[in-house]
Amino acid sequence: MSLSRVYHAASLKEGEVVQLDQRASGHIQRVLRMRAGDALILFNGEGGEYHGTLTEISKRHCLVECHTHHSVDAESPLDIGLIQGICRGERMDMVMQKATELGVHSIHPIQCDHSVTRLNAERSDKKLQHWRGIVISACEQSGRNSLPPVHRPQSLEDHINSHQHRALLLLDPTATNQLSDLKQPEQGIDLLIGPEGGFSEHELTQAYDLGCTGLQLGPRILRTETAGLAAIAVLQTRWGDLS
């Protein structure tokens, strides 16, 4: 039986006893239902993982003794950044979770003309915290020891202007390019996905004028929560670590 994996947002060292934060402690007690003496794996997002033993459980915290460090690396050699048009709650949550499982290196929510969900500064902060929690849980489940950062929402234009050094692939059902037409980029790939309703004509014109390459996956139009995940899987199969 595989050991449960728990993220700890602080330094870890062999032989040390660490106190887990409220999120991790609650997960151990209420979800995993672990007991003192149980073995587990800790990771902090800085690479590798530690085998450990749960030494104490209380209502407020859990203590874990770290044992051996293992240099386990489950990261894809293909650097994919997912640029996802903000969509409705559960759809966006699923994209965050599954994109992490599929191995993206970073996630960039963007506010688009057709985005149904509109985020002010306060809502943006709350959503960002929520999305990062989903990414942590997905890393715990999938065996990743590095957390893909979830960046603060911005506009499509602002993102493109700040990432000109990367290959910018925009999923567009009207595009003529297919993946087989493209060469593997030397730098990373930013994959741009529209929200419900897709990108507006203004956004498409703007994106192509700024150097994006249109890409279509096939004859069917995919929902926003499906499109990015399908494209990531195809890219990982062609140039990454899915086989």
pLDDT tens-digit readout, 49-88? 999 999 999 878 899 999 999 999 999 999 999 999 999 8
Same domain, 152 and 113: yes
**How far apart are the C-alpha atoms of 217 and 234, rounded to whole Å?**
9
Residue 53: which CATH number? 2.40.240.20
Residue 75 within a domain: no
**How far apart are the C-alpha atoms of 153 and 237, rounded to whole Å?**
28
Cα end-to-end distance, the chain, whole Å: 25
Residue 194 within a domain: yes
Average pLDDT for the chain: 92
Given CA atoms 33, 37, 38, 40 in this order, what sign does their dihedral have?
Answer: positive
Q: Name the residue range of residue 212's domain.
A: 80-239
Instruction: Kindly tell me if the per-residue pLDDT of 1 is higher than 70.
Output: no
Instruction: Kindly tell me if the per-residue pLDDT of 174 is higher than 70.
Output: yes
Residue after which a domain boundary falls, among 70, 97, 123: 70
Same domain, 45 and 91: no
At 97, the pLDDT band (50, 70, 90 cuts) reads very high
Residue 97: which CATH number? 3.40.1280.10
Helix, coil or strand: residue 169: strand
Residue 134 within a domain: yes
The domain tally of the chain equals: 2
Phi, psi (deg, nearest 5) at residue 205? -60, -45
Q: What angle do CA 169, 209, 215 make, to 5 degrees?
A: 25
Same domain, 117 and 223: yes
Same domain, 142 and 194: yes
Tell me if 108 sits within 8 A of 154, measured CB to CB.
yes
pLDDT tens-digit readout, 103-135? 999 999 999 988 877 877 778 889 999 999 999
Same domain, 96 and 61: no
Q: How far is CA 8 from CA 65, 96, 209, in A?
A: 12, 20, 43
**Radius of gyration for the alpha carbons in the chain, expressed in angstroms and rounded:** 20
Tell me if 110 sits within 8 A of 154, measured CB to CB.
yes
| pTM across the whole model | 0.92
Same domain, 33 and 117: no
Distant-in-sequence contacts of 51-54, Cβ < 8 A, 24+ apart: 51/3, 54/28
Residue after which a domain boundary falls, among 41, 70, 99: 70
Same domain, 122 and 198: yes
Same domain, 127 and 36: no
Tell me if 147 sits within 8 A of 136, measured CB to CB.
yes
Q: Which residue has 């699923």 as its token pair?
A: 94
pLDDT tens-digit readout, 193-218? 999 989 999 999 999 998 999 999 98
Residue after which a domain boundary falls, among 70, 93, 111: 70
Q: What percent of the chain has pLDDT over 70?
A: 100
Same domain, 57 and 93: no
pLDDT given for residue 159 in this prediction: 87
Which residues are paired to 167 by β-bridges? Answer: 189
Same domain, 97 and 57: no
